[in-house]
Amino acid sequence: MAKTVSIAIDGPAGAGKSTIARRLAQELGYCYVDTGAIYRTVAYFMDILGISPKDADGVAKYIDELTVEIEYDEAGKQHMIMNGMDVTEDIRTPEISQNASLVSAHSFVRDVLLDMQRDVAKKHNVIMDGRDIGTVVLPRATVKIFLTASAEVRAKRRYDEMIAKGQKAELSQVLKDIQQRDYQDTHRAVAPLKQAKDAVLVDTSRLDIEGVVAAIKAIIAEKVNP
Ligand code: DC
């Protein structure tokens, strides 16, 4: 099998990873994998069962009853399938964001999901976004980007997105949620969010989407088929 190209984009919540990764995947004809959606699906499953994401024994007891599949529709949009049910939209709430961050801290949860993520990258050219792609999931990724922005800028972007979708939101609460997730995601013992040694740092605080896409395309061009 020909060697596939993998582009890892890690960074904190709201840095613009999914928007940028989706755009790049479309332009390059790669498969976009949003790994946060996988953790969100686990969190959603536990929520339905009434298991706290912090309850390691409870999560461990029921994780084997969960099957998670990733499917793509004709437009290339990633769908999350939980035990045969499409939960793509259900996992996008502030509560599930927090629960996903908490449930992802258990090492056995991360272990269960590791092969699934690596398998996609073995079969397809991928742009994969998450927290530990460059450090743990694909340590030999062709290109590694660490995308970040100030917490205030990220909160404002998230807030605007929620308002545009017709959801209720308060900017101060969105900022608090982001800061809490930043803390949890960077302080957990297993696979914490951090920049890989060989990742290129891109701060998007002062860039618009076009600017970020252009910056990352230039980084990719240097490493892929130079
Ligand atoms: O990218 P996101 O906001 O959808 O991710 C939700 C949570 O899932 C995030 O706060 C931490 C966890 N996560 C992770 O631990 N590792 C990843 N590769 C992706 C997400």
- Domain containing 201 equals 6-37+93-106+117-217
**Whole-number pLDDT of residue 94:** 92
- What's the total number of domains in the chain? 1
Q: Do the domain assignments include residue 172?
A: yes
Is 158 close to ligand 1, i.e. is its CB under 6 Å away?
no
Q: Do the domain assignments include residue 168?
A: yes
**Whole-number pLDDT of residue 1:** 55
CATH number at 209 reads: 3.40.50.300
Angle between helix axes 171-187 and 94-103 (nearest 10 degrees) is 10
**Whole-number pLDDT of residue 226:** 61
**Whole-number pLDDT of residue 104:** 98
Choice from 87, 101, 138 to test ligand 1 binding pocket (greatest atom count within 8 A of CB): 101
**Whole-number pLDDT of residue 224:** 87
**Whole-number pLDDT of residue 225:** 74
Residue 101, CA distances (Å) to 13, 38, 107, 151, 224 in order: 10, 11, 12, 16, 32
Q: Do the domain assignments include residue 24?
A: yes
Q: How far is the CA of 210 from the centre of ligand 1 (A)?
A: 24
Q: Whose CA is nearest to atom 13 of ligand 1?
A: 36
Nearest to 43, CA basis, from 114, 109, 131: 109
Residuewise pLDDT in 10s, the chain (226 residues): 568 999 999 999 999 999 999 999 999 999 999 999 999 999 999 999 999 999 999 999 999 999 999 999 998 899 999 999 999 999 999 999 999 999 999 999 999 999 999 999 999 999 999 999 999 999 999 999 999 999 999 999 999 999 999 989 999 999 999 999 999 999 999 999 999 999 999 999 999 999 999 999 999 999 887 6
Choice from 108, 185, 187, 188 to test ligand 1 binding pocket (greatest atom count within 8 A of CB): 185
Q: Whose CA is nearest to atom 16 of ligand 1?
A: 131
pTM, two decimals, is 0.95
Q: How far is the CA of 36 from the centre of ligand 1 (A)?
A: 4
